Amino acid sequence: MSNPPKVQHMDHFTIVSDNIEATRSFYAELGLTPGPRPRFARDGLWLYANAGKPILHVIETDAMPETRRGVLDHMAFFSTDVQVALDWIRAKGIPFRLQRAPEPFNIWQMFFPGPNGEEVELDFAPEEAPPAGWEGKPIVKTA
């Protein structure tokens, strides 16, 4: 019996979109940039982070699936400056939840919907200063 392969790191996430331009624009604000992509039969995007590797694959579709979320609960990206992110998301009017992970990690976590119904999480270093208005409990803004 052979040993199973061992995961080394996350490679990428794939989402579908019926509005490629809105998707491109939304993730560009988060610092992802379109880059080279194989000539697949379906159009789409590969979005790159600063590491020079595509981490979000977007497949264009004519219509979104009836159920928008499957077994993938959310995708998380490490980011910087929780206050800037909070100001950005409030200015966009996007519903969100900002919280701290429990001890001993204490990372800042911001959850919000992407333009295709996908849930996005931005994580921030625990050393970052609390954002304005932080009172030690989650900050939630609903639609």
Spatial distance between the Cα atoms of 14 and 107, rounded to a whole number of angstroms: 25
- Tell me: domain 74-143, CATH 3.10.180.10, correct? yes
pLDDT exceeds cutoff 60 at 69: no
* Whole-number average pLDDT of the chain: 87
Q: Is the pTM of this model over 0.85?
A: no
pLDDT exceeds cutoff 60 at 92: yes
**Could you state, in order of their start, the residue ranges of all structural domains in the chain?**
10-63, 74-143
- Tell me: domain 10-63, CATH 3.40.50.410, correct? no
* Residue 62: band (very low, low, confident or very high) from pLDDT cuts 50, 70, 90: confident
pLDDT tens-digit series, residues 7-31: 677 778 888 888 999 999 999 999 9
AA letter at 25: S
Helices (H), the chain: 20-29, 82-92
